[in-house]
């Protein structure tokens, strides 16, 4: 079927709104303005009607009414769709699972743009690097004080996921290794070649976005359960105990197996601390450099295409149809081996 020409992007004189999750401060989302300014320049205004989706699991089933979205690296996963590509220009997405959700070709799977951190921000050179631990921001909200104390006593640097992002990057890049519940902690550690291991302490982890990223570096997401089910806030309710029992029988939702069902007694916290210390020796994630290089190439190509389209008329590019969807994309410039 011949390509149907549709409006792609506005002319380069127009500003864009950098769209990302802002309601709760946390490291991954806060990376957006830092990295986007380095990658795209000073082109952003919160008042703009055209939005750029860059870092985060922020692709929703449809673009907001009256808004055109440009997707360069963002992911989907909180909602299962179906997804519409009307009023969207897709240059690349975070990984193959996002491609599946959007029903677009896997050639648009690049890598999370936070993987570019080491390209734009110099690492911290530590005289005596020590291991670090970074929780999910929701874990930090209920257990930050307890976890920070456990880490301090064990000689592990506690990285607060809601601290200023430059400070977080400095800590990650200077760590001997990173134990992380936070996806963008892992991605930035990987960018700086800091050994890392994913862990789970509670039900707030969204596995699909981890698997999406893992596929782009040629590995499999296999988190370590380190003393999950701890009720750090002291609240153990019967409903959680019942859901946990269902999970043990292979029933209910997958996250039920992480529901808090045991109180944070000294013995329980001691086991958690020993688990953290043991993980400072691994096992660390092993990636495939060739797969990662191809993923980075796709992201770089999408960024180059973005700048090309910004410098051309609004009707540059074309569209394909794939089954049920009109796919507002430009063919990615990837090598024949990808």
Same structural domain for residues 93 and 160?
no
Residues sharing a CB contact under 8 Å with residue 251, sequence separation 6 or more, in sequence order? none
Residue 236 lies in a domain: no
Residues 61 and 127 in one domain: no
Please give the Cα distance from 167 to 64 (Å, whole number). 34
CATH of residue 224: 3.40.50.1980
- Higher pLDDT: 256 or 330? It is 256
241 within domain boundaries: no
Same domain, 99 and 167: no
| Alpha-helical runs (H) found in 155-265 | 165-173, 183-191, 207-216, 238-248
In a domain, 6, yes or no: no
Q: How far is CA 289 from the centre of its chain?
A: 19
Q: Is residue 254 part of a domain?
A: no
DSSP result, 25-69: --HHHHHHHHHHHHHH-S-B-TT-SEEEE-SSB---SSPPTT-EE
Backbone dihedral region for residue 73 (phi beyond 0: left; psi -120 to 50: alpha; all else: beta): left
The proportion of the chain whose per-residue pLDDT surpasses 90, expressed as a percent, equals 63
Looking at the structure, tell me whether residues 136 and 106 fall in a common domain: no
Q: In whole angstroms, give the CA distance from residue 331 to residue 19.
A: 24
Per-residue pLDDT tens over the stretch 270-286: 989 999 999 999 999 99
162 and 85 housed in the same domain: no
Range of the domain at 294: 17-111+290-327
What is the per-residue pLDDT across 54-97, written as a single tens digit (0 to 9) for each? 999 999 999 999 999 999 999 998 887 799 999 999 999 999 99
- How many separate domains does the chain show? 2
| Domain identity same for 140 and 198 | yes
With contact defined as beta carbons under 8 Å apart, do 55 and 112 qualify?
yes
- The answer on 136 and 104 residing in a single domain is no
Sole residue written with tokens 């953290």: 276
């Amino acid at each position: 079927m011949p390509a149907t020409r549709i409006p792609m992007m506005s002319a380069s004189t127009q500003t864009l709104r950098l769209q990302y999750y802002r309601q709760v401060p946390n490291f991954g989302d806060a990376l957006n303005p830092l990295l986007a300014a380095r990658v795209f320049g000073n082109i952003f205004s919160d008042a703009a009607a055209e939005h750029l989706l860059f870092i985060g699991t922020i692709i929703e089933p449809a673009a907001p009414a009256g808004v055109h979205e440009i997707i360069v690296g963002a992911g989907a996963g909180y909602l299962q769709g179906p997804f519409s590509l009307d009023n969207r220009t897709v240059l690349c997405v975070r990984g193959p699972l996002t491609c599946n959700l959007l029903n677009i070709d896997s050639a648009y799977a690049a890598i999370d743009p936070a993987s570019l951190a080491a390209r734009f921000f110099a690492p911290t050179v530590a005289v005596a690097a020590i291991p670090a631990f970074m929780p999910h921001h929701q874990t930090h909200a209920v257990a930050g004080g307890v976890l920070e104390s456990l880490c301090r006593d064990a000689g592990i640097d506690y990285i607060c996921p809601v601290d200023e992002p430059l400070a977080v990057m400095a800590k990650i890049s200077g760590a001997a290794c990173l134990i992380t519940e936070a996806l963008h902690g892992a991605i930035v550690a990987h960018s700086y070649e800091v050994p890392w291991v994913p862990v789970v302490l509670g039900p707030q982890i969204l596995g699909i976005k981890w698997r999406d990223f893992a596929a782009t570096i040629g590995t499999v997401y296999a988190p370590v359960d380190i003393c999950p089910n701890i009720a750090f806030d002291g609240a153990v309710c019967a409903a959680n105990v019942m859901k946990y029992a269902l999970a043990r029988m292979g029933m209910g939702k997958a996250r039920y197996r992480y529901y808090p069902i045991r109180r944070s007694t000294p013995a329980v916290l001691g086991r958690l601390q020993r688990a953290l210390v043991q993980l400072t020796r691994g096992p660390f994630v092993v990636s495939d450099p060739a797969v990662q290089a191809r993923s980075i190439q796709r992201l770089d190509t999408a960024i180059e295409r973005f700048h090309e389209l910004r410098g051309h008329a609004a009707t540059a590019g074309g569209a394909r149809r794939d089954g049920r969807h009109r796919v507002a994309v430009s063919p990615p410039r990837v090598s024949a081996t990808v």
